Structure 1
């Protein structure tokens, strides 16, 4: 609603408004005070109407509407704080709007199999597939009641179904099984195949898109070999789920975010061979698409036609590819062209990859705060059908980041010259020094450099900011640009260099940085006349990935595991990292110390690529001279810091060593045994060891092994990166301050989602039926 400050004043007769104008509008100013309150009251009344409907109500109203319907909430919902950001996210999990909205419809469909899939989507946010176990039991055929589709032996001539029993925990298993009398909800051992058992296979990984990005040429294996991942690593391709045709439909493989199997990617020909790719997964708007400009002939390859693709096993990079065809391995994310028919203009790909949530660089929706009064430049990357270096671009659009920065410098100089001329014209007696000072103050102070496509932006970047300037280097909406820093100078490092003067600020948003790290430079050692405040004020890294180890091998091992992703070189700048993935942080102490610089990391992964390496430290001192804050983070590597102001809901897989222990707090965290930290509250393994006799060394060692966090994968670029294993101890999986999981995936609230879904089962599953949740991914 648009506020109307003079709504009451406009109701007065004209004669009173004329007299008020003659006296300087005192009556108007007086009536604006109750007018603002009238706007607030009217907006509140309108909001009360919106809160009467589940589609438009505020989040805090959802539990109340659910209570009117008899919707059962978990006990944790009574402790929610609607003013806290984390509590608000948890509230949407404990009282999901879609599940409350569909309560009446779910009660009408109670007892149906497809309802369980809808409950998983509405109550937990997980796509799922429901399987009735009695349909998979071995069946002794009766002559009068024959069921030829039940039972029987596996057909060894058909390889497709033979892959399914162990794939995705057997969610698509088509074969018959003998009876397992254990219950599917048993605590000691879970049975799956019995008459009353129903399994709901939940898929927690999401399928994220990458649109028109360059493929990586694996030259070490041959100039005709490529990987879908621009980092050069093997990455399984995922499929884009297809919506189910009807609410009563049971989800199939095509309806779920699952990896692409070679059998699924292929279309079987008349001779039962894999002669071509399937049209269900390849093409515009589907899971995979390949661009090879002017291949195999000029004017072709935009995109590569379906008939040119051959599904293949490229695990050894060896495959005899016919001319005019491309071998594709979706399980490894590899492409191989004919050696004598290589693409001359490069290869671009669009595909899907699997990941757990919205952190790091990715093509997902995110908030992009704007710099006030900023000049916006747009930088374009090379595409299959367009090269920005050879295409005329409109004003404000550039073919490289360096060109945009040069244009920014020219625009500042032009603005200063124009302001100087205007000042001299207005006052010819104004001294030149004073006129230059005033003109310099009128220079533009904020710049936004937006990377428009999910391509690769190469080159060396050096950001040197003047006093009070701010630069935001960000990705455009729904893109994942790759900033590739090249090793072009043999005698100097080639990192992304950032420096600035008093009040300057740099923001990196939505980028994937590979090849080198970021170096923040402070004043030089010999610049003793420089004031301590003449330094960069703040560096913000938001929704970015700084590849741990700079780059990857095919098996996702880092190529440079000992190199830091961020180096703070004699600077007092504050560093803030949000929803990011990065390698180690190295801090070189400034000449003039003062108070330690603040370092805040939240909802992020700090990965030194090994627990025996240093994730936060200093190359020239025992500890890094910073005061760190960790909120909902997973840290692989040792922490060596001057102080920790707060560590909350985080996992420190290696030891933490803090110099200043009298200040700060560590709460609801896992801290490796033998760490030196500030005071701890409700941390592990402290609580587990407190229940063991101090003199029982064997029991204490056993507790340390039991309570240690177990990860599915600790290698970046794998789908299950930094996710806790399902058999990880409950002290870690539910050990956060709100009983969620510790670490970077805290805000997924998976324990609460599972409990909420289990509570729905108690209401909607028919009597005598056991329904259990099986995590397929």
Structure 2
């Protein structure tokens, strides 16, 4: 397809083009219209050819190619609607392209153990480890036919082996067990260690990188104490999985996204003293790397050599570190330097953490819409390198410098309307930020691709607010993309007249996309919030609309303008709103009964009470606490979990309403206790944050509008992935074997 709009016009003879120029180019304009339609036709013909192949075909063609191969789909695939973003995402789960492409190969390998791991990857997108449980049965071996690699007795003096018994749900258990007569596929009480049992341990948590980010100094513990997490909380370090060498290989610990254990992070020396770190896990391109400039001597420490590391248990911060060494605890994410040899220039770390989805600020691929005709400034963070290089034009050391340069550029050229400030590294950007936009102006503060910059808002003025202040005139917009904001929240201020009443033009829109506004502003070591009662976003006397997408935010506080008018628009989708406790208010007003907003929630998990003027739509959401809506005759709540005692608009297919309607009155109290969301963790900073427990009732785990899970992790489609994998196991499990899915994370 040609991008030249005049390609048909250029084929005309010159004499006709000369005559057309004399008449004002009417023929050229006509042929441009025909050229556009010709491009559409050529593109459609090219797509017809691409749809012949599984690697290049459109998503809707995948089931048809699978049908030619006899690939059986789940019954839910027949109910998919044409078009729609979420229908397309669900279609990719129910008809995985990789699984269809490997159908013939899988049938050739039917009955092999390694095929089950490939099925988990292709059909469900989960890395897995297959285990034949009969190899872990305790039995008397014949002396002429020994199996030394099968399950053995416990060596209680080896803590590394003992740790693997229950770790990762027993996926790496090396010990022998007695026979269990219960079936692995039983719906009641599942057994494991039977002769026909084959377990497929799937790992649902993903390993996300953090690159060259400052470590947090825990000054209350001591200036030699550091945390890998920039928030100061304990976080287990995950490993970077290694690719399996061949298709028939059975996954081991180093091939899977699992947390690092102390005994695996250590390299066992000849004296079994665990005195050094494993070179497979530490170093450039590995799972962990530490930078300490000019430590222990000038010109050293970038990075810290592996010989200086000591794997240790720092859960109590009690460890005597020799000079020239640094202790690292991968299970808590802590570092400890010698008390008499502290790093004076700070510490930077690269590591990996575990999480369930691409949510909030993180170094994952995310679409970033571009502002039209925007000026682009790049801001850099300090790096551990000792070499200082001068900044080129358009590059700045602080956000304040970039905003000052933008003000000068606007004064020189008033036609400038759009600014993009890109934060180039996954470092810390400090300082107060005050964004006051002119009419029609747009400012986008975003992370560079594959980075996670930290915007640390400091308490620089005693007894006064130090938030990220935003204000603007008519038609102005502020967009935040890919940031981690800690220390304070965001305050959006409306215009004020002489009497303090809202008047005149106002900011049009604030968009928060793929960001994390730390609930409670900051974290303790145990992930408890330091300021649990403080909001992350405050709308103070403004009519600006607020849109939050795929983000994690704390509470939202709304202070209404004196001259109200229509309520402000609040749209939240695929996000977590965490008030740090179900008894606190996630959306409300500090001086009124309800927040004067018209709210919409789509695929959200809300931890805390919601008090709003009206709710236009709430869909596929989990509200952990009650909802109180003033205007009930407007809007709809559908396919959501809404606690009893809530005041909402009309509900459709909500829980526990449907469950209570299906049972007699004498059983409703018991049913209401059963149909509740059970979360693995409600503390931001943990790996299982806001994830539903596997024991949660099916009404919630499959209660969304498309039978996925309610809440923020709806688009992962875990029920569909599990059902699709179980469907494949029925076809490819060896004869007389009983295969089952076991969740290791």
Short-chain TM bin? over 0.9
Q: Which residue of 1 aligns with 2:304?
A: 304
Say which of 684, 690, 708 aligns to 1:722: 690
* Contact 1:290-1:303 at 8 Å conserved across structures: yes
Q: Which residue of 2 aligns with 1:497?
A: 469
Q: Which residue of 1 aligns with 2:629?
A: 658
Q: Which residue of 2 aligns with 1:409?
A: 407
Query: Whole-Å Cα distance in 2 between the matches of residues 504 and 8 of structure 1?
Result: 42
Q: Is 1:585 aligned to 2:556, yes or no?
A: yes
Say which of 710, 715, 721 aligns to 1:747: 715
Q: Which residue of 2 aligns with 1:285?
A: 285
Q: Which residue of 2 aligns with 1:136?
A: 136
Q: Which residue of 2 aligns with 1:336?
A: 336
Q: Which residue of 2 aligns with 1:349?
A: 349
SS in 1 for 2:47: helix
SS in 2 for 1:168: helix
SS in 1 for 2:510: strand
* Unaligned residue ranges in structure 2 (runs of 5+): none
Shift of 1:614: 0.3
Shift of 1:391: 4.1
Shift of 1:491: 3.8
Q: Is 1:556 aligned to 2:527, yes or no?
A: yes
CA spacing shift, 1:336–1:143, aligned 2, 3 Å: closer
* Contact 2:213-2:350 at 8 Å conserved across structures: yes
Q: Which residue of 2 aligns with 1:736?
A: 704
Q: Which residue of 1 aligns with 2:568?
A: 597
Shift of 1:15: 2.5
Query: Whole-Å Cα distance in 2 between the matches of residues 364 and 285 of structure 1?
Result: 17
Q: Is 1:541 aligned to 2:512, yes or no?
A: yes
Q: Which residue of 2 aligns with 1:708?
A: 676
Shift of 1:75: 1.0
* Contact 1:525-1:591 at 8 Å conserved across structures: no
Shift of 1:35: 2.9
Equivalent pairs, count: 745
Deviation digits for residues 40-59 of structure 1 (CA, Å, limit 9, x no counterpart): 11111111001111111111
Shift of 1:527: 5.5
Q: How does 1:426-441 map to 2 (within 5 A)?
A: none
Q: Which residue of 1 aligns with 2:33?
A: 33
CA spacing shift, 1:410–1:8, aligned 2, 3 Å: closer
Shift of 1:770: 0.8
* Contact 2:290-2:304 at 8 Å conserved across structures: yes
Shift of 1:17: 2.6
Query: Whole-Å Cα distance in 2 between the matches of residues 260 and 374 of structure 1?
Result: 44
Deviation digits for residues 636-673 of structure 1 (CA, Å, limit 9, x no counterpart): 00000000000000000100000000000000000011
Q: How does 1:360-759 map to 2 (within 5 A)?
A: 360-386=360-386, 391-415=389-413, 442-524=414-496, 526=498, 531-532=503-504, 534-694=505-665, 696=666, 699-759=667-727
Query: Whole-Å Cα distance in 2 between the matches of residues 118 and 369 of structure 1?
Result: 35
* Contact 2:375-2:420 at 8 Å conserved across structures: yes
Shift of 1:386: 5.0
* Contact 2:135-2:151 at 8 Å conserved across structures: no
Q: Which residue of 1 aligns with 2:729?
A: 761
Shift of 1:11: 3.2
Query: Whole-Å Cα distance in 1 between the matches of residues 417 and 4 of structure 2?
Result: 33
Query: Whole-Å Cα distance in 2 between the matches of residues 529 and 579 of structure 1?
Result: 34
* Contact 1:599-1:629 at 8 Å conserved across structures: yes
Query: Whole-Å Cα distance in 2 between the matches of residues 530 and 725 of structure 1?
Result: 46
Query: Whole-Å Cα distance in 1 between the matches of residues 271 and 534 of structure 2?
Result: 53
Q: Which residue of 2 aligns with 1:419?
A: none
Shift of 1:156: 1.8
* Contact 1:139-1:151 at 8 Å conserved across structures: no
Q: Which residue of 2 aligns with 1:53?
A: 53
Deviation digits for residues 366-389 of structure 1 (CA, Å, limit 9, x no counterpart): 0111111111110000110158xx
Shift of 1:277: 0.4
Query: Whole-Å Cα distance in 1 between the matches of residues 27 and 143 of structure 2?
Result: 98
C-alpha RMSD of matched pairs (Å): 1.3
Query: Whole-Å Cα distance in 1 between the matches of residues 456 and 705 of structure 2?
Result: 39
SS in 2 for 1:307: helix
SS in 1 for 2:669: helix
Q: Which residue of 2 aligns with 1:212?
A: 212
Shift of 1:528: 7.0
Query: Whole-Å Cα distance in 2 between the matches of residues 12 and 535 of structure 1?
Result: 54
Query: Whole-Å Cα distance in 2 between the matches of residues 147 and 566 of structure 1?
Result: 62
* Contact 1:139-1:150 at 8 Å conserved across structures: no
Query: Whole-Å Cα distance in 1 between the matches of residues 561 and 502 of structure 2?
Result: 12
Q: Which residue of 2 aligns with 1:17?
A: 17
Query: Whole-Å Cα distance in 2 between the matches of residues 489 and 142 of structure 1?
Result: 78
* Unaligned residue ranges in structure 1 (runs of 5+): 416-441
Q: Which residue of 2 aligns with 1:159?
A: 159
SS in 1 for 2:275: strand
Query: Whole-Å Cα distance in 1 between the matches of residues 496 and 696 of structure 2?
Result: 48
Shift of 1:192: 0.5
* Contact 1:3-1:36 at 8 Å conserved across structures: no
Structure 2 length as normaliser, TM-score?
A: 0.98
Query: Whole-Å Cα distance in 2 between the matches of residues 59 and 502 of structure 1?
Result: 42
Deviation digits for residues 649-707 of structure 1 (CA, Å, limit 9, x no counterpart): 0000100000000000000000011000000000000001112223x2xx222111100
Structure 1 length as normaliser, TM-score?
A: 0.94
SS in 1 for 2:233: coil
Query: Whole-Å Cα distance in 1 between the matches of residues 417 and 149 of structure 2?
Result: 72
Shift of 1:490: 1.0
* Contact 1:4-1:39 at 8 Å conserved across structures: no
